[in-house]
Amino acid sequence: MLRVPRSWADVTPAWATEALSAHFPGVVVDQVEIGAIDDGTNSRARATLSYARGEGPRSVFIKRPGRVSHRMALVALGALATEARLAAVRAELPVAHPTLYAGGVEWQRLASVVVMEDVVSFGGRPHDATIPLDVAAVRGGLGGLARLHATYRVGVPPPLGFLRPWRLGAVLGVISVASLSRGLRRFCAMDTHGAEQLAQVGARSLGQQFRRSAILAAAGEQTVLHGDPHLANSYERVDQGVGFFDWQLARTGHWSHDVGYFLVSSLDVADRRAQERELLAGYLDEYRRADLPSPSWTAAWERYRATPAFGLATWLHTLSFGTLQPVDACLAMIRRFGAAYADLDTQRSLVSGAR
């Protein structure tokens, strides 16, 4: 696997040459220019490249270790090494996504790195969490997720055998309640209307539902999931439609996790209320096109209804943490998931045990 650079200064032409060698044999990078650095969950930057020999991409996108606290959060979620391992095995992901050129993990440092295709250089437009998608774009994104899920519904191949289902342990549950309490306080202080909507949501109850959501995502038929397909982890290209990046939470699980998370996070509340049934039905049609049995409408709808608690809790945690995502993105996501949580009576759905 690729060596994990200790700083951006260690992203040298020799290192970049090694990163690209599997996909572009014979290339030799002679210059690397690091662009603006964005410090979120990881430290991320676009690198412009020139070549002494051969032809390769004019730019790549690099994710390297962020703050120690962020790395610890990734370890707790089982997400530190996943995307790097997907890159290392050259995983086949039958949904639009950036090509993963190389990855590396150094467990002793709790550090990982991923070098991938720069979709912006090919005309890709990353989505903004504060700007909902139109219904057609969400339909396209769900179609891509359906192809991914259908491909691996019959079994996960050995190269992807390291992927595991969701696991949220008891210790994380205790931490979760404190974090959710802080997130709820912050949200209610920033959004008066939203505070009314979440007035009856208790941190302890939501923490239990968060864990129940993870259990549910690991129950029933299993496939490969993106795991974190919210709006801000998607993009659009004219030649590919909606695609997904940031695969560090990829895992195995029930298709409904990805579907609910993408659909609710991506639509304006009014559009989601008007179109969610039609969009879910369209997703299920993709299974029929693949000659795979699809669940009954009632079973699929019950699974979907149970999903918003996970998104609501996740984004309250993110707001509580304070440095993983911009505050305006957190507020927008919490509003959408909070509305869906109420509209779909998610708490009762989880308690009654969707199958």
pLDDT computed for residue 106 by the predictor: 94
Q: What's the pTM value of the predicted model, to 2 decimals?
A: 0.93
Torsion, Cα of 78, 79, 83, 85 (10° steps): -30
Equal CATH topology for 8-116 and 127-352: no
**Pairwise CA distance, residues 62 & 46, whole Å:** 6
Map out the domains of the chain as residue ranges: 8-116, 127-352
What is the CATH architecture assignment of 8-116? 2-Layer Sandwich (3.30)
Q: Please list the rounded mean pLDDT of every run of 10 residues in the chain (355 residues).
A: 95 98 97 93 94 97 88 79 94 94 94 96 94 98 96 91 80 74 94 82 90 89 96 94 95 96 98 98 90 88 96 95 89 96 90 58
Cα–Cα distance measured from residue 203 to residue 210, given in angstroms and rounded to the nearest whole number: 10
Q: Given 1.10.3470, 2.60.40, 3.90.1200, 1.10.260, which CATH number is that of 127-352?
A: 3.90.1200
Please spell the DSSP secondary structure of 189-216, one letter per residue: HH-HHHHHHTTT--HHHHHHHHHHHHHH
**Looking at residue 287, what is its pLDDT?**
84
Give 58's DSSP letter.
S
For residues 180 and 319, is the Cβ–Cβ distance under 8 A?
A: no
* Helix, strand, coil percentages in the chain from 3-state DSSP, rounded to 5: 50, 15, 30
298 neighbors 162 (Cβ within 8 angstroms): no
Q: What is the pLDDT of residue 239?
A: 87
